[in-house]
Every structure is written in structure tokens, then in C-alpha cells.
Structure 1
Amino acid sequence: MTETLNDFHVLRPGLHAGRSAFITGAGSGIGRGIALRLLGLGMDVFGTGRRPEALAETADLAAGLPGTFRHAPCNVRETEAIEALVRQVGEAHGIDLLVNNAGGQFFAPATGISRRGWDAVIDVNLSAIFVVTKAAYPYLKARQGAVVNISLSGVDRGSMGIAHSIAARAGVLGLMRTLALEWASDRISLNCIGPGAVITEGLAGEAAQAMLDQLVKATPMGRPTQVDEVAELVAFLASPAGKLMTGQLIQIDGAAHLGSGLHMLAA
């Protein structure tokens, strides 16, 4: 397929119409923001997450948008269930875009992380991404699709207090770059986005103001990353303009990964 210059206007109405996205962790925060942005651009979105009520809230917010939002609860750590769900969606609607957004971690020094805690974080942030991406492969191949993994700012330099999460996400970076090579002939692009401090509804409701102030102070541009900014970047990577970008870690963090950065906050 040869694109014309007009195909490279990311925000052009209808650019994503008729295309299908599969998003994990779509019930809140960044995942919800990505889902709503893609729906607004006319893409049909299937969202999954652990909490049915959160997915229902996303569906309410999606009412009236051009795209269709379908959803079903599923824990990405349950391998057989998530593989079956990917196959169900892929067979029924196809998959043009896979967004691996689901993740989780807890803060502790490396010496305070148990093997059980280590395994849980590695499972959700690395192993589940391998499982979901592999399951989506035949449908991505059929559509010459894209994979976007939501990671962290500074994942390539380490971060104090989350050794398990950084190890997992560094693993995703290596996996993504390997698949970018293996799947290049299939015209599948794979990239990672590393947001800086993103103040979601949940974090704003739980975190002390002092912590929020720290996050902003550690960002040279002096403000957190907005959910909408991450969603816009996903839309770009799913558009013809982003098609040749693959194997990249794109850090949208106001230069936090270049300075003392978010990675030092747990010191």
C-alpha cells in the first residue's frame, strides 16, 4: 500500500475509522484515555481489565463517540483466559492495534522484595505482555498492525524502589526490539512509550501533595505528563505517519529521564 501525503494527517477525521484496537487495562487512567481518544478518531476499541465496573465507566464516557467500545473483564495474568479473549476479538473484529497498558507494581528496596512479590510484578509487566502479543500476532499480521507498550520514563537507566518493575519493563524493551526484527517482514510495528509522572484520578486521590510536588520537581519541564498526551502519541503510532517507526522507546516525560529524574525519588 502506498500512502499519499494526505494520509499523514494524524488528526484527520475518519483516519482510524473501521480499524480495531485491543487495549489491556482500559478501565481507568492511561488505558481509559487511550481508548477514548481512539474512539473519538473513529476506531473500534475492545477494552479489558480486572474490574467490570471500571470498564462500564469507560463505556459510559465513550457514549456518543464515533467508534464502538466493546469490553469484557479479564486478568492478563490468567494465560488461557486472555489468550481466548484475544482470539475471540481477533476472529470477530480483527486487530489493527494492540496496546499493552495493564501493569502494576509496589514500592520497596530490592532487599525488601520477596520472591512472591517479584514473580507477581514480572508476571503482569512482562510475561503477560509476551502472552497477549503472541496471541495477537496472526491478527496483527493480517492487518499489518501496530503494538504499543506503555512503559515508564527512565526504564533504560534504572529506578530506585521498583527493581522488579524496571527489570520487567526492560525485558519488554528487549522483547519489543526482538519482535520488531522478527516481524518486520510482516509490516508489524512495535514500540514502547515511557510516560513521565502521570497524575491519574487514582493517584491524585491517594498521593500526598508532597509526593505530587516531588514528581513535578523531578521533571525539568516542570509539569507531569498528561493522559491525553500519551493517548495522542498512541494515535500517531497507529497512523500511517508512524508506520515506519518500530523498535523505539519514546519517552514523553518533559526530559525527566535526562536529569536527576523520577528514578531517584525513592532514595
Structure 2
Amino acid sequence: MNPLDTQVLRPGLHSGRSAFVSGAGSGIGRAISLRLLALGMDVFGTGRRAEALAETAELAQGLPGSFRFEPCNVRETEAIENLVKRVGEAHGINLLVNNAGGQFFAPATGISRKGWDAVIDVNLSAIFVVTKAAYPYLKARQGTVVNISLSGVDRGSMGIAHSIAARAGVLGLMRTLALEWAPDNIALNCIGPGAVFTEGLAGEAAQAMLDRLVKATPMGRATRVEEVAELVAFLASPAGHLMTGQLIQLDGAAHLGSGLHMLEA
């Protein structure tokens, strides 16, 4: 297929191709899954809550692609490795979206070792485990990996030292794998959304922080989950496949302005 024929993401563009999406039960992961399904891709979604995944499946009814799901915690190494293997062997993997993650707001001095380990585990170690498990299936189809990160992750952000450390690690991992896996024609990138308002927001503190980030965004608005989903679809298309090893900041120039890195927790 000529990449120049794929500049417009039209229905059917991804027909016959398969995606594995973590955190597919809500927010950004749900939006990504529905967009890929609308373009004709078959999507396997996972997440911790079966009921949330079932809701995504209901929303997917009538879309060209098929949606399958199975609950799994990405922090449970053996379970997620086995799930990736089963999906890869049964359906193949053209696209891996590492979207599952989590964090809480606190100054570095207020983060316990237990809290640190939990955030590092879900936002860094689990991505290594899932991506490594998906490698043979991505190699077979010259696939794509997209990691959902944060705006300004390369600058630091006050109040989320654990999350920034983890996601900075993902940047290093992604860029290393972009080099190691380039001969296999596998593309790997990170998307750094700005403030994203989803049903997954936990507590007034998180809401207040996102409100302040929007005010500090030069374009003056939050990032929509649909915008993240559209960028993922582009990166998974032939037109986007030469882009690899990149952090794409989808944040209305928040990473260039005062941004989250200057806001207190």
C-alpha cells in the first residue's frame, strides 16, 4: 500500500489488522479502542474491571471491527504475559497500545516506598513486560507500539515524581527498542497528552490539578480523548509507520509554557 494513499484515516483502513489495548475499559483506552474499531481493526482490550470492558463492548456494537476482552491486571506478570501470548497466537498483533497506568498527587517527601513501587510497577515495569511479550507477534506483522505517557514528561512535573520517573523510563525504553527493533520494522512511540478529563479522575485534588494545568496551557483547553485516539490510529497506519522513537506532545503547547512542571502539588 502506498503511504500517500493513507493520509486520511477512513473507515476500513485497518481492516484485517489486530490491536491489543491495555486500560481499554474507560477514558483514553476506551476512546482508542472505539476509534480503531470504527476504522475496521479488530481490538482485544484488557483492564482490571470486567464491567468496564463490557461497557466498551456495548459501545462497540455495530462498528466494523470486532471487540474481544478479558480482564487482567498488567502488574500480574505471568497473567499478562500469558494473555498477550494467547491473543498473539490466536489473532496476531499489529498494534500494541500501552495505555494502562495510574498515579496519585503528592510531593516527593510524601511518597512512601510502597506508593513509589506501585506507580513504577504499573507505569514502567508492566510496559516492559507487555511489550516484550508482544515482540514476536509485532515482528511477524511489522507492527507498531504506542505508549500513552504525559505532557512534559521530559521536563519533570511537581507532585508526581514517581510517575515522571516511571514515564521517563518508558521514554528511554521506547527509544532503545526503536533502535533494537528497527531491523524488524517495528515502530515505537509515546504520546504525551495534556490535561485529559475522564471518568477515571480520583478525587478533588486531581480535578483541581487538571483545572490548573488547563489554565497554564497556551491553547487554553484540555486534550480530548478522541484526539489521542486519532493520533494512535495515524501512528498505526502505513502513513505513520516511519515515525519511531518519538515523544509526541499532544497538549496545546503546555510543555512549552508554564505547564504542570511549575505547578505545586
Q: TM-score, normalised by structure 1?
A: 0.96
- Alpha-carbon distance in structure 1 between the residues aligned to 2:143 and 2:238: 10
CA contact (8 A) 2:196 2:210 kept: no
Counterpart of 2:215 in structure 1 is: 217
How far apart, in 1, do the equivalents of 2:201 and 2:102 lie? Answer: 13
> Structure 1 residues 132 and 208 mapped into 2: Cα distance closer, same or farther (>3 Å)?
closer
**Equivalent residue runs for 1:96-245 within 5 Å:** 96-203=94-201, 211-245=209-243
Residue 250 of structure 1: SS of its match in structure 2?
Answer: strand
**Fraction of identical pairs, as percent:** 87
Partner of residue 34, structure 1: 32
Whole-angstrom CA distance in 1 between matches of 2:188 and 2:207: 36
Ranges in structure 1 where 5+ consecutive residues have no aligned partner: none
Counterpart Cα distance in 1 of 2:81 and 2:262: 37
CA distance in 1, matches of 2:49, 2:178: 32
Stretches of 4+ aligned residues off by more than 4 angstroms: 204-212
Output one character per residue of 1:83-111: Cα deviation in whole Å (capped at 9) or x when no partner. Answer: 00000000000000000000001111111
5+ long unaligned stretches in structure 2: none
- State the Cα distance separating 1:69 from its structure 2 match: 0.2
- Answer whether contact 2:4 2:239 (CA < 8 A) is retained: no
Aligned residue identity for 2:44: F
Tell me the CA shift for residue 43 of structure 1.
0.2
**Alpha-carbon distance, 1:209 to partner:** 7.0
**Inter-partner Cα distance in structure 2 for 1:226 and 1:145:** 26
CA RMSD of aligned residues (A): 1.6
Counterpart residue type for residue 46 of structure 1: F
* Contact 2:28 2:225 survives alignment (8 Å): yes
1:3 equivalent in structure 2: 2
The equivalent residue for 2:249 is 251
8 Å Cα contact 1:28-1:58 kept in structure 2: yes
